[in-house]
Structure 1
Amino acid sequence: MIRIIKRFRFALTALATAIALTVGISTQAFAANLPGEGSTWQPEIEANTAIRSHETLSEAHDTSGNIVQVWRGWDNNNIYLSINHGVARHWGDNNNPGGATQTPGAATQTAPRVIWTDYGFRIFHVGVDGHIYYAGITFGSGGGNPFLGSWVEVPNNAVTTPWTSVAVVALPHGSWLLAWLGATNVNIYSTYFDGNTHSYSAPSQIPGASSVDAPAMAYDPSWGQVIMVYRNTESSLVTMQRQNYGSSSWTAPQEPGFSGGGLVTYGSPSIALTNNGNGIISARNQGGGYRSMTLSRSGTVAGWFDETTNFRPLTAAWATAVGAVIYWLMTAQDGYVYWKVAGRF
């Protein structure tokens, strides 16, 4: 049986504590904290083993307390997953613990993503051929052993560069929205999967959206809108566009900022929305650290808030919300993955 995880993270083991002390990321940073921001980074532990990746870890939760985490390997292009912080599994390994069904192998040069929908978890990755693929994870009755589905290619020639991730958000009724960078240009495209008809819309270019890095998206029912962020091609500033749920139209690109101006970033920004009307946008600043702004339902922003330990990650960070708490997931220069409470709202 799968253990139900009621807490977001396990308490630290001796191994976790040792690794945290070894990294020693404790330098005081530049500005005020996000509300409720944690003071230290903790290693991501799966079955008492610290995980490593060459990219950013992604995770999703269901309403029963299960958590699925996916990542690219540290020294290979394999896709790994862990369910409820259990043993990390190579997707395609025919000796998976827990009774999971073997699936076809998969390889990626970038970070995979995972969401939870009304029909179960869905994992997305960009293949080494640039095509976008997805597969499902479902649990047996009573929360039994998981079933790992086969990889399916997103239709209608949804193709990006092999080294940029696809952005995905879960929507009501088992639906989702995908966004990706064009394979031969800097445009950003999207397609909508309708959970009722089990069909994809034709890919369409998002007006005004252009980048050289992967976009990121977030959605929460309390907001009723999808928010996409990316690094634009003209100024390298973090740029935001919004779409009300049920609409196919996007707002014009906006470079969120205030008296201090926008944020020049390197790599992909990330975004997370809470269930009580708050959110953050985080991005790597010119010094290599991380800076965030808070976001309200109206689209107004406040900040800037510098991450308090001045962590210098290997790749762009990932923000994820669980209820009213937002967490950061970052990969250190040596490939070890760490997490930290970004804010409590």
Structure 2
Amino acid sequence: MKRWLRITAFAVALAIGVGIASPAYAGQPGESNYWSPEVSNGQNVQGRGEDEARAPNGDLVEVWRGWTNDEIYLSVNNGPARRWQSTLSGNVARTYARPRVVWTDAGWRIWHTGVDGHIYYGGISVSGGQLVGFGEFWQVPNNAVTRPDQPPAVVALPGGESAYLAWVGSNSNQIYGLYYNGGVSPTVWGQPVAIPHATSATAPNLAFNRNWGTDQLGLTWAGEDHGVYLAWQTYGTSSWSTFHLYGRSTNVTPSIVFTDNGTGQLAIIPYVNGSSSGATEYTTLRSDRTWGGQWTTESQQLATWNHLPPTLATYNNVVYSIAIALNGYMYWKASGDYSK
């Protein structure tokens, strides 16, 4: 087990200058050797950006941006796809970026970047394993604005619909974070805070798991130097740990997820010789802030749309990868089984 490489000006310069990289080995534990179609009502789903999550009872909600339009579609338990149109106002949610879905203590919440760059959120109603209604979607206050083609990163926190958000600035590469206390009445939105030393040309990603001993919050991003960065925060504190650099480069947003038993996974598309390669690489994370010490190449390579790494989701301590192929059709597989 390797400890993180502490980031200092010297360490960053050294890693870039000599091209440090760990060797890639095949396969995460329990990784599947094949991809299966992501389906809605028996049809392969096609879109530009997808996310999914499960409720404690096993209900699965998938959300994606349309392949031929900028509308947001949802499916519950692989049922019929329905576009997000508010039951209250009739407004249709539109985005140029990947939407997000999280299960909270208050139910399902969907987040997306509007075509105006503002971040929006709203709820859906699921009953009997079926989607029964859409709520209104509301603009996040306090100038939570990003680039229209970049999604917000969102994780649910304990208490009502509480959440932590992160995004890249609309006019800079600075990454910002914001706490939302949705467990009190009235709810309280924090002010956006610039995360120290966190800058990127693309959106960040987040992971959180309340079952980790100190309620770890993890933030990852592709640095302006194409380094893969991860920062840790103990939930309830306001400071981030020292940032760390892995032995790979990337120029697109990494994916990250934490399972319930103290293991997590991070996925990237490597950036090699000035371009993104087609093979996803994975590494493991630990709740004690160590990592697996090596990168593994996906067991069955799938070229992805816009060189985006798969979305990562978890259920029962198994990590699932959901990837978008070059033609927009989505596929999934188990990319790690950490239940043992």
RMSD (CA atoms) = 1.6
Matched, 1:210 2:199: yes
Contact 1:179 1:189 in 2 (8 A): yes
Q: Which runs of 5+ in 1 are unaligned?
A: 1-29, 94-99, 257-261
Identical columns (%): 38
Structure 1 residues 236-247: aligned runs within 5 Å: 236-247=226-237
Structure 1 residues 1-345: aligned runs within 5 Å: 31-55=25-49, 57-92=50-85, 103-139=90-126, 146-174=132-160, 175-197=162-184, 198-223=187-212, 224-233=215-224, 235-256=225-246, 262-286=247-271, 287-302=277-292, 303-315=294-306, 316=308, 317-345=310-338
Alignment partners' CA distance in 2, 1:242 and 1:230: 12
Alignment partners' CA distance in 2, 1:277 and 1:144: 32
Q: 3-state SS of the aligned residue for 2:175?
A: strand
CA offset at residue 103 of structure 1? 4.3
CA offset at residue 145 of structure 1? 5.6
Count how many residue pairs are aligned between Structure 1 and Structure 2.
302
CA offset at residue 300 of structure 1? 1.2
Contact 2:64 2:98 in 1 (8 A): yes
**TM-score, structure 2 length as denominator?**
0.85
- 1:170-197 per-residue CA deviation (whole Å, 9 max, x = no partner) reads 1111211000000000000011110222
Q: Which moved more, 1:283-292 or 1:69-78?
A: 283-292
CA offset at residue 139 of structure 1? 3.6
Q: Which runs of 5+ in 2 are unaligned?
A: 1-23, 272-276
Alignment partners' CA distance in 2, 1:110 and 1:289: 22
- Which amino acid letter does the alignment assign opposite residue 47 of structure 2? S
Flag as ranges the 4+ runs of structure 1 deviating above 2 A.
100-103, 142-147
Contact 1:210 1:232 in 2 (8 A): yes
Alignment partners' CA distance in 2, 1:86 and 1:143: 9
Change (3 A) 1:131 1:33: same
Alignment partners' CA distance in 2, 1:101 and 1:196: 23
- Which amino acid letter does the alignment assign opposite residue 232 of structure 2? R
Alignment partners' CA distance in 2, 1:49 and 1:65: 21
Alignment partners' CA distance in 2, 1:149 and 1:45: 24
Alignment partners' CA distance in 2, 1:150 and 1:284: 35
Q: Give the structure 2 partner of residue 23 of structure 1.
A: none
Q: Give the structure 1 partner of residue 13 of structure 2.
A: none
CA offset at residue 101 of structure 1? 6.9
Contact 2:75 2:131 in 1 (8 A): no
